[in-house]
Structure formats: C-alpha cells, structure tokens
C-alpha cells in the first residue's frame, strides 16, 4: 500500500514526515537535533527524560548522560539539557530512581577519565563490553551519591522496577553476560539468568513481577567458540538475538520471538500483556532496517509500529501509558544522526 506522508510542525521543533501507517503514533515531536541520542527513559512524573548522547556540538567525545525537560525540548530546537554524568570516561544506560530526584547510570570513569577506545573488526558489527563499567547514582545536578556495583568486569544496563524496590542489570562477574537483580540500595545482588549467551537490556513488567530482555543463544560449536572468543576480548556480536521473559527470580523463562536476526530493546506495553521492541528481521541481506514491533506475551499478534527511516529503537512508554519515546534516524538530513522522538500513543 502506498504510504501517505503527513508533514507535521510542533512548536519550535523541526518539520518532518510521519507515515499514516504508523497508526499508533500521533503528534510526533523531535526532541534532539544532532549526534547519537539513545536510551531515553521517562522520569516517574513523565515530565523529563534521562538519555545518553555523544553530540559533538555539546563538546562530547563519547556518550554522556543528560536530564531533559521534555516541554523545554519541544519548545526550543536549540535547547541543551543539563549533563548529569561527570564528563569523564564513557557512560551508558541511565534510569531515574523512584524519588525522581536521582538518576543511576553506568560509567567507566573509575578505570580511566578518558573515553575508552572502540574496537573494530573488519566485516563484523560488535558492541564493546568495557570492563570498567560500574553503576552509580547521582542527583540531577550531577553529584555522585553512591556506587552500586564494584565487581571486576562489566556492570551496566540497569533499570528500576515500577514498584521502586529492585534494580535489574547485566554483569559478567560470573563468567558470562547474565541478568542480575539487587535491592534499590544495591544490596542483595543475585544472579537471575544462567544460559550461555548475552542476556541484557532488561526491563520490569508494570507490576514488577517479570522481566523482559534480549538474549543470544549460541548453539553450534562454532557459535559457542565465537561467542566465548569475543567475550574474552570484551566484545559481543549482537546480530542474533531474540526477546525473552522470566520472573524476577529467574523462573518461568520463555522465548517470546523466533524471528531471526536482531530483536532487542524490548519494553512492556502498559497493559503488561504485550511487548514493544526493535527488530531487523524483515531487512534485506545487509541487515540494517530496524523498525519497532509489538507482540503478545505468547508470541502471537506481531504488529509493525514504525515504517519510516532505517533505524528505530529504544522505545519506552510514559508512566501513564499515554506517550512513547524512541530513537530514530528519520529527519536527519541525510546524516548518520540518531535523535529522540516523542509521540502520543494510540492503542
């Protein structure tokens, strides 16, 4: 079916196109305007977003954490949100604490104040699992209040339960990339998953009883060897991942998708009965066409949510379920910029 494009202008934001096929999205607004901006997550009151950016116009050499006032970003395309991270090392995966006054994030600054070197292997798309990543809590002015992890190796990808009592994160401390859970103050750290492969990017269900996450499951001898070889170098090849759920104690593990390629960045629909996620399973041989999809908890009812541009990921619903924020490279003027967008959600 031929797409109908609707030009939309919101306040001082940029004019861009919204496909009529993206029927769940209404009043789409662009919140950032340059660099790579990702992992934007709502504050408990739904008025702010924590996110990471490497925007060079802000003087950044690698990802740092910012605290965005959504209304200010909608009103002014030149708005620069305040930085929360200390500007040292590399950061990732921020999330608001239950009090709405503090933000947790992972950073490598304890290992080195410089941005860690990125590793590139010809012909391979790889993520670096920096061993210096640990999880910290800072106030919204950037003052670090507490260090939650202090184990050898990668600790990152932390998110907070809607109940405000638990934090889930990914750690390599047991020899593989597994999900771990801890109390909101960092105590009682316990391993949740145990299968060989990368388990990460976990979020709690609305009732705080379940987790949704992305996972790779190498099965052949060749796949297992490659996975272990890369992991020993602090690398992961995230090209074959599916969406899983489990209870917060690790029981009742279920594979939700069986789509092939890369299925990741999952988040629960406000009903708790569906999952929204990013996938390139319908991409051409090159593999780079990530759209948002939604699926029921039993794997049925797969539905495409976005159709525009070649990259859409990191979706999150607002606490009241009325808005969706995500990252996309739409409307980037032909550059490689990835920006944050927010829309009213329509079921």
- Quickly list DSSP for 277-316: EEE-TT--TT---BEEEEEETTS---EE---SSSBEEEEE
The CATH fold of domain 5-335 = Neuraminidase (2.120.10)
On average, the pLDDT of the chain sits at: 93
Q: Is 339 helix (H, G, I), strand (E, B) or coil?
A: strand
Note the pTM of the prediction, 2 decimals.
0.94
Q: How far apart are CA 41 and CA 44, in angstroms?
A: 10
Query: Is the model's pLDDT at 1 over the cut of 50?
Result: no
Strand (E) or helix (H) holding 228 = helix 221-232
Q: How far apart are CA 63 and CA 55, in angstroms?
A: 8
227 φ, ψ to 5°? -60, -50
For position 306, what pLDDT does the model report?
A: 97
Both structure tokens of 229: 């070889």
Q: Is 18 helix (H, G, I), strand (E, B) or coil?
A: strand
For position 16, what pLDDT does the model report?
A: 54
Q: What is the pLDDT of residues 260-305, one digit of tens each?
A: 999 999 999 999 999 999 999 998 865 689 999 999 999 999 999 9
Query: Is the model's pLDDT at 14 over the cut of 70?
Result: no
For position 20, what pLDDT does the model report?
A: 76
Percent of the chain topping pLDDT 90: 89
Both structure tokens of 97: 């604490």
Q: How sure is the predictor about 3, in pLDDT bands with cuts at 50, 70 and 90?
A: very low
Q: What is the pLDDT of residues 170-229, one digit of tens each?
A: 999 999 999 999 999 999 999 999 999 999 999 999 999 999 999 999 999 999 999 999
Of 118 and 69, more confident: 69
Q: What is the pLDDT of residues 38-49, one digit of tens each?
A: 999 999 999 999
Both structure tokens of 193: 């998953």
Q: How sure is the predictor about 5, in pLDDT bands with cuts at 50, 70 and 90?
A: very low
CB 311 within 8 A of CB 331: no
Return the C-alpha torsion angle 34, 40, 42, 43, nearest 10.
-80
Both structure tokens of 316: 């999150």
For position 249, what pLDDT does the model report?
A: 97
Q: What is the pLDDT of residues 125-144, one digit of tens each?
A: 999 999 999 999 999 999 99
Of 122 and 271, more confident: 271
Query: Is the model's pLDDT at 157 over the cut of 90?
Result: yes
Query: Is the model's pLDDT at 343 over the cut of 80?
Result: yes
* β-strand partners of 7: 17
């Amino acid at each position: 079916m031929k797409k109908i494009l609707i030009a939309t202008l919101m306040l001082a934001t940029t004019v861009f196109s919204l496909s009529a096929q993206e029927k769940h999205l209404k009043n789409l607004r662009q919140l950032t305007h340059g660099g790579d901006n990702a992992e934007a997550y709502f504050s408990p009151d739904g008025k702010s977003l924590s996110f990471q950016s490497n925007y060079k116009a802000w003087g950044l050499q690698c990802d740092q954490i910012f605290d965005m006032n959504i209304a200010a970003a909608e009103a002014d395309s030149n708005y620069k949100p305040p930085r929360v991270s200390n500007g040292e090392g590399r950061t990732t995966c921020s999330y608001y604490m239950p009090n709405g006054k503090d933000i947790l994030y992972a950073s490598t600054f304890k290992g080195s104040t410089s941005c860690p070197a990125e590793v590139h292997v010809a012909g391979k798309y790889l993520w670096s699992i920096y061993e210096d990543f640990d999880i910290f809590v800072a106030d919204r002015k950037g003052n670090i209040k507490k260090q939650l992890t202090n184990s050898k190796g990668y600790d990152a990808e932390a998110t907070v339960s809607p109940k405000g009592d638990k934090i889930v994160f990914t750690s390599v401390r047991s020899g593989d990339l597994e999900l771990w859970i801890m109390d909101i103050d960092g105590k009682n750290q316990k391993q949740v998953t145990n299968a060989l492969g990368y388990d990460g990017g976990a979020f709690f269900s609305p009732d705080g009883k379940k987790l949704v996450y992305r996972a790779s499951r190498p099965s052949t001898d060749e796949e297992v060897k490659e996975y272990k070889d890369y992991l020993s170098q602090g690398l992961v090849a995230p090209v074959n991942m599916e969406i899983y759920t489990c209870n917060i104690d690790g029981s009742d593990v279920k594979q939700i998708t069986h789509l092939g390629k890369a299925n990741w960045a999952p988040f629960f629909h406000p009903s708790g009965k569906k999952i929204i996620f990013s996938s390139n399973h319908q991409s051409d041989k090159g593999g780079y066409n990530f759209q948002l999809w939604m699926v029921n908890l039993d794997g049925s009812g797969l539905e495409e949510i976005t159709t525009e541009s070649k990259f859409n990921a990191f979706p999150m619903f607002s606490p009241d379920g009325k808005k969706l924020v995500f990252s996309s490279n739409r409307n980037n003027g032909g550059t490689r910029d990835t920006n944050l967008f927010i829309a009213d959600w329509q079921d």
